[in-house]
Structure 1
Amino acid sequence: MTDATTNGFQAGRTGLIVRIPEAEAAVRTWRERFDPSARAGVPAHVTVVFPFLDESRVEGRVHQALADVLGGHHSFDLRFERCGRFPGVLYLAPEPDAPLLRLTEALTDRWPEAPPYGGAFTEVVPHLTVADGPDDAVLDEIEAALRAELPFTARVSSVDLMVHDGVRWQLRAAFGLRESPRPDSE
């Protein structure tokens, strides 16, 4: 979760993410080396909306509105079985990505002043960043190593509000999604 305009973090900046703890074993070492957000305290995640509102605006009414918007969505499973790339970035691709896109759309419909990535991109591509910045040879090496760790599945049951305190990202609140049965339990 870096700022698309400054490639840095600002105190009071917030973001909404889906934590993917199931990915940590596969990506932790790479993220600690090649993802500034990992070194700043952000766990393995897929971004839902970043940047969100300034921390000074995130109070009781916004928390309640987040709970209402997110609580209208069902929990879901994601499968990570392949890597993808943006220029200079290696990521894990969540499938299906439609539930993540619906969360992003619902939040940006409610808070149009907080478009994903500050409106820098015309298309939102849900992804779990593994490495940001190394050259293609390093990205190739990381991708080859990750293939042995794939596939895995993750259950998404909440969206986390993260806040940067000027030094690190901190979990401020978790907003639950409506529980839905797992496909294998029906």
Structure 2
Amino acid sequence: MADDDAQGFQAGQSGLIVRVPEAEPLVRAWRNRLDPSARAGVPAHVTVLFPFLDASRIDEGVCAAIGEVLGRHESFEARFDHCGRFPGVLYLAPEPDTGFRRLTEAIVERWPESPPFSGQFDDVVPHLTVAQGQDEAVLEKAEADLLTGHPVVTQVSAVDLLVHDGTRWRQRASFPLA
């Protein structure tokens, strides 16, 4: 899923994501080649929280609580029309990113034992990963290609819970926004 290498995925890991199906035509080929999470079954997305709880801890009560927390948030629109970079990572940046940040904050407030990216980063930047673990020349080529595409606009109306089964990421539930 989010900026993790394929070997790092473990059975029982979970994460909360916003799918961005409108981005698939633009990013699919690059993600399939350059993003291990795509090869492991994760669609084009913006991460809300990864890692989340171990799958063994996610029961009906946890799902109800996730639905309650997320259901307090209004659906919103996001536009992806430019790229951003982290070291070795190329991503599409959503504008505005405020809605994504609020979803993450709300989930972390409810489950503080699950900080985003295990607390590795001071500022969690919402993004749609296209390539990771690549050299600069590969990232530049991918970015040039992405910028020739049309802007991607999506209506964010749900957050999906994905769980790794030891081989692939699978959707376990979907939670609508208000």
Q: Which amino acid aligns with 1:103?
A: L
Q: Write the distance in 2 (CA, Å) between the matches of 1:79 and 1:2.
A: 20
How far has the Cα of 1:99 moved from its partner? 0.5
- What is the total number of aligned residue pairs between the two structures? 178
Q: Which amino acid aligns with 2:34?
A: F
Structure 1 gap ranges (5+): 179-186
* Structure 1 partner of 2:20: 20
Q: Write the distance in 1 (CA, Å) between the matches of 2:89 and 2:5.
A: 16
* CA root-mean-square deviation: 1.4
Q: Deviations 1:80-122 (Å, cap 9, x if unpaired)?
A: 0100000000000001000000000000000000000010111
Q: Write the distance in 2 (CA, Å) between the matches of 1:168 and 1:6.
A: 10
Does the aligned pair in 2 maintain the 1:82–1:92 contact within 8 Å? Answer: yes
Q: With structure 2 as the length reference, what TM-score do the two structures score?
A: 0.97
* Structure 2 partner of 1:114: 114
How far has the Cα of 1:152 moved from its partner? 1.8
Q: Deviations 1:47-69 (Å, cap 9, x if unpaired)?
A: 00000000000001100000000
Aligned ranges 1:88-103 → 2 under 5 Å: 88-103=88-103
Query: Does 124-133 or 143-152 show the bigger shift?
Result: 143-152
* Structure 2 partner of 1:137: 137
Distance 1:6 1:137, change over 3 A: closer
How far has the Cα of 1:7 moved from its partner? 5.7
Aligned ranges 1:35-50 → 2 under 5 Å: 35-50=35-50
SS in 1 for 2:66: helix
Distance 1:141 1:4, change over 3 A: closer
How far has the Cα of 1:134 moved from its partner? 1.3
Q: Write the distance in 2 (CA, Å) between the matches of 1:40 and 1:15.
A: 13
The percent of aligned pairs where both chains have the same amino acid is: 63
Q: Write the distance in 2 (CA, Å) between the matches of 1:87 and 1:3.
A: 11
The 4+ residue runs of structure 1 with deviation greater than 4 A are 2-7
* Structure 2 partner of 1:59: 59
Q: Write the distance in 2 (CA, Å) between the matches of 1:17 and 1:142.
A: 23
Does the aligned pair in 1 maintain the 2:6–2:37 contact within 8 Å? Answer: no
* Structure 2 partner of 1:77: 77
The question of 1:105 aligning with 2:105 is answered yes
Q: With structure 1 as the length reference, what TM-score do the two structures score?
A: 0.93
Does the aligned pair in 2 maintain the 1:76–1:157 contact within 8 Å? Answer: yes
Distance 1:6 1:154, change over 3 A: closer
Q: Write the distance in 2 (CA, Å) between the matches of 1:3 and 1:129.
A: 7
* Structure 2 partner of 1:182: none
Q: Which amino acid aligns with 1:73?
A: H
Does the aligned pair in 2 maintain the 1:3–1:9 contact within 8 Å? Answer: no
How far has the Cα of 1:150 moved from its partner? 3.2
How far has the Cα of 1:4 moved from its partner? 5.2
Does the aligned pair in 1 maintain the 2:2–2:129 contact within 8 Å? Answer: no
